[in-house]
Every structure is written in structure tokens, then in C-alpha cells.
Amino acid sequence: MTELTFPARFRWGTATAAYQIEGAADEDGRTPSIWDTFSRTPGKVRNGDTGDIAADHYHRMAEDVALMKDLGVTDYRFSVAWPRVQPTGRGPAVQKGLDFYRRLTDELLSADIRPVLTLYHWDLPQELEDAGGWPHRETAERFAEYAGLVADALGDRVPTWTTLNEPWCAAFLGYASGVHAPGRTDAAASLRAAHHLNLAHGRAVQVLRAALPASAEVSLTLNLHAVRPLSDSAGDRDAARRIDALGNRVFLDPVFHGRLPADLVEDTAALTDWSFVRDGDLEVTSAPVDSLGINYYSPTVVAAGTSETPSPWPGAERHVRFVPAPGPRTAMDWPVDPEGLYGLLTRLRDELPGTPLMVTENGAAYDDYADPSGEVHDPERVAYLDGHLAAVHRALADGVDVRGYFLWSLLDNFEWAYGYGKRFGIVHVDFASQRRTPKDSARWYADVIARGGLRG
């Protein structure tokens, strides 16, 4: 047996997001975000689930940090709830909201766990949505101001800052397919949203650089799509190019190269002339970052064809068909394929030389089962994680500068449109009693961290 050993300074983390775990939706001055509104609207989230209580992390934070200390993680990726800190999206910060994150980061630092803070994991203050949301340019400015409030409060204790989590989901699931909050189905608006998210990111980078110590690391997280054409035919390859533009380069190009993808502008010409991109915007969007976070779960296989509308792929519906990838599936019905992660990492090595990478999310939902003694067994999750970490190891061996891996997720939580029915945690949560039970995968991860690698 050969051990797959990771670099000594490799960062081993877990990840969560505020709305998915915190609960306490109406406490200490917090007001609704678009996800409160969306989840409280009948028919939007399975089973009518909301994040009102979630995993009650707001009240059980110390217990959850203790769980991580037991796992031995070096880092913890969490998000700040904008409506807790600046409820209307304007004006001064709410002290009690900031205090929660101050206590959380203090608790992490005393457990010797590095805080990795995400400013935006989809919980836009409802008032900003009412004023136009992400399709509206001013939202980017509001985000930069909010970034400054958080930086002033936590800049002395948080070494790593991430502006946005998965702007693709925020723009295209939120405004084009409408399966995420705010649930709009306006393809043209979703393209404006994507640009304003890029602009918000860039403006926040500028504000963070001014407010944070020089040692702070500033980053963003993208859910990049590992796109493969079904065949080598020209039509299938063109379908893959379109999805690469709408899924990847729509963010990578403005952020890392200060340009819009020319083919994207052409492909979407029937929807927009992109005149909302003003002079100077692409200099802002490309404010230098220190690293890139990538979230990966599953590959995307496409062919020439059509898909239904509304879809999260504005303008591609008459050209692209999504093909179920072969092989095993998770409880989300997402195909399992670590090769997709390896492919993305090596592509970024080549396209963004000098940019350190972090896998900021990877994990799987499965239907776990408890035995009579109360132990929760999840062998499929262990196999999924082992396979994907092996892919990261192979990427490292091939010269990819991957600095860390954040397992999604620490806890079972509110899985967006799927509610509590899909469990991604390595710690089981009984949502009636809020009892936490580490699963077999938690013990497996603790062992990986302790030995600094996989058993091979």
C-alpha cells in the first residue's frame, strides 16, 4: 500500500454557509434576506423547509467549533450573513451581528483553527433585492460598503477573505432559472447580475486591500464547470464551448484577465448588448487576488441539441443538451467523477499560472443510516471523498499549486431548494433535537488529517 502524502502545510478544512446552518433568523436585529423570503414562499423549497432554525448554529457555535477541534481541521470556511451585520444593506453595522462573528473567530483561534471568511454566500438583504437586486448596478456598491464594515470589525483576526461564493449560482440559478432566491426568470437580467457580481467582487477587493493588514489573503470562490463534449463532433464541441463561456469564463475572464469573453458576448447578443459594462469596469473586476477557490461536485456533459427554458444557461437553450454522465450517483442524483476535479485543477494550472488554488468545497449528499447503537454509517461518502482527495493529490504531483481542501460540509444543513432532505454533513444533525453525531466519514477525515494523507 502506498500512502498518498500531502504537503506538510496543506490546509485541511470544512465549510459551511450562514443561511444553511445559523438559524436565529429574527434575532439580534437580523432582517430577511432573499433566502428568507424565498423559503417562506410556498412551493419554492421542498417540504416548505426554511432556514429559520436550521442547525441552530447561532446558539451552538462553541459546540460546533469543539467538533472541528476534535476532527483536527486546520481551517474553517464560514460565511457572514449580510442581513445580520447590515440588515437593510445600507448604513452602519449592527454591533450584535458583528459580535457573533467576533465570538466565532475568537473561538476558532483559541482552538488553533484558521478562520476563512466568505462575505457573500447568497443571503442578499431583501431590501436590496426590492431595490433591483444583482441586476441593478448599485448593489455592487452596497456590497463594497458592507465588505468594509466587516473588514473593519474582523480584519485583525481573519487571515483569509473570500468575496463571493459561486456567483454563477447567485446570477443564473437566482435570476435565470429561478430555482434559487430571488426566484426570477429573466435571462437578460441574469447576465447583468453576473457582471454586477464581478464588479461587486472587484470593488470589495479594493476596499479589503485598503482596510486589511498587508498579510491578509483575498480570494473568491467559483463553482467551475468541468465541461465535456459528448463526442468530438463540431456541434458537441461548440455546445461545450458555450457552457464553458456561460459557466466559467463569464467570471474567470473579467476577474483574471480584465476582459469579457468575446464568444459569450456574441452568443448572448439576442438578449443584451452588454452596454451595462461601463468604461473602467473591467479594471475593477480584475483587481488582483491572492488565490482562487474552486467548488467541485460533479462533471457536466453536453451535446448539440436543445434544453428547456427557463434554464440557468441564458441563450444556450437552443444549442445545448445536457447529457447525464454515466456511473454512480449521489443522493442529489449528481454523477460521481473525480476526474472532473483533476481536469479543472490542471486547466487552472495552465491558464492562471502563479495563482494558488484552494478546493473550497467538495463533498456529497447520501442517505446515511444509523445502527442501533446510534453510530451513523456513510461508506459511500467516504468513498466519494477518498476518490476526490486522490484526484487532488494527483494534481499536486502534476505541479498544480493547490493549497488546501475544504470538505462540504461540517454539518447536515439546509440544502437550498432541497431543504433538509439532502444531507452533506460529516456530522449528522437530528433537526428535532439538534443533536450532533459524527458519522464514519468524520472519523475517516480526522484520520486523513492526522496522517497528512490517504492510505492509498
- 368 Cβ partners below 8 Å, 6+ apart? 376, 377, 378, 381, 423, 428, 439
Cell numbers describing residue 423 = 444531507
Instruction: Please say which residue, 162 or 223, places its beta carbon nearer to ligand PNW.
Output: 223
Tell me if 17 contacts ligand PNW by CB under 6 A.
yes
Could you tell me the smallest distance in angstroms from the CB atom of residue 361 to ligand PNW?
5
Binding mask 260-299 for ligand PNW (x = CB under 6 A): -----------------------------------x----
Q: Are 63 and 55 a contacting pair, CB within 8 Å?
A: no
Which C-beta is closer to ligand PNW: that of 6 or that of 414? 414
CB of 78 to ligand PNW, least distance (A): 11
Selected binder of ligand PNW within 169, 170, 245, 385 (CB under 6 A):
169
169 versus 392: smaller Cβ distance to ligand PNW: 169
d(CA 247, CA 258): 17
User: Of residues 49, 166, 281, 386, which one binds ligand PNW by CB under 6 A?
Assistant: 166
Q: How many CB atoms lie within 10 A of CB 239?
A: 26
Residue 53 C-alpha cell reads as 432554525
- Verify whether residue 375 is a known catalytic residue: no
Pick out residues in 99-138 that bind ligand PNW (CB under 6 A): none
* 223 binding ligand PNW? (CB under 6 A): yes
177 binds ligand PNW (CB under 6 A): no
Pair 440, 64: CB distance under 8 Å: no
38 makes contact with ligand PNW (CB under 6 A): no
Q: Residue 244 or 361: which CB sits closer to ligand PNW? A: 361
Contact criterion met (CB below 8 Å) for 107 and 61: yes
361 catalytic? Reply is: yes
Here the contacts of 42-48 (C-beta below 8 Å, separation 24 or greater) are 44/181, 44/183, 44/417, 45/416, 45/417, 45/418, 45/419, 46/417, 46/418, 46/419, 46/421, 47/419, 47/420, 47/421, 48/419
Q: Which of 361, 375, 380, 415 is catalytic?
A: 361
- Quickly tell me which residue has 467576533 as its cell: 102
CB of 453 to ligand PNW, least distance (A): 25
Question: What are the DSSP E strand ranges found in 172-273?
Answer: 217-222, 227-229
Question: Which residue do the cell numbers 432556514 mark?
Answer: 51
Q: Annotated catalytic residue: which of 22, 107, 129, 166?
A: 166
415: contact with ligand PNW by CB under 6 A: yes
Region binding ligand PNW by CB under 6 A among candidate stretches 148-156, 165-173, 250-258, 442-450: 165-173
Strand partners, 342: none
Q: Is 79 in the site for ligand PNW (CB under 6 A)?
A: no
C-beta of 342 vs 416, nearer to ligand PNW = 416
The yes or no reply on residue 22 touching ligand PNW (CB under 6 A) is: no
Interaction between residue 361 and ligand PNW (CB under 6 A): yes
Residue range at the interface with ligand PNW (CB under 6 A); choices 164-172, 227-235, 349-357, 366-374: 164-172
Produce one character per residue of 253-268: b if its CB has 16 or more CB atoms within 10 Å, e if not. Answer: bbbbeeebbeebeebb
| Shortest separation between residue 279's beta carbon and ligand PNW, angstroms | 33
- φ/ψ of 353, rounded to 5, equals -60, 140
Q: How far apart are CA 165 and CA 186, in angstroms?
A: 21
Where does this chain bind ligand PNW (CB under 6 A)? 17, 20, 165-166, 169, 223, 295, 361, 408, 415, 424
Known catalytic residues are 166, 361
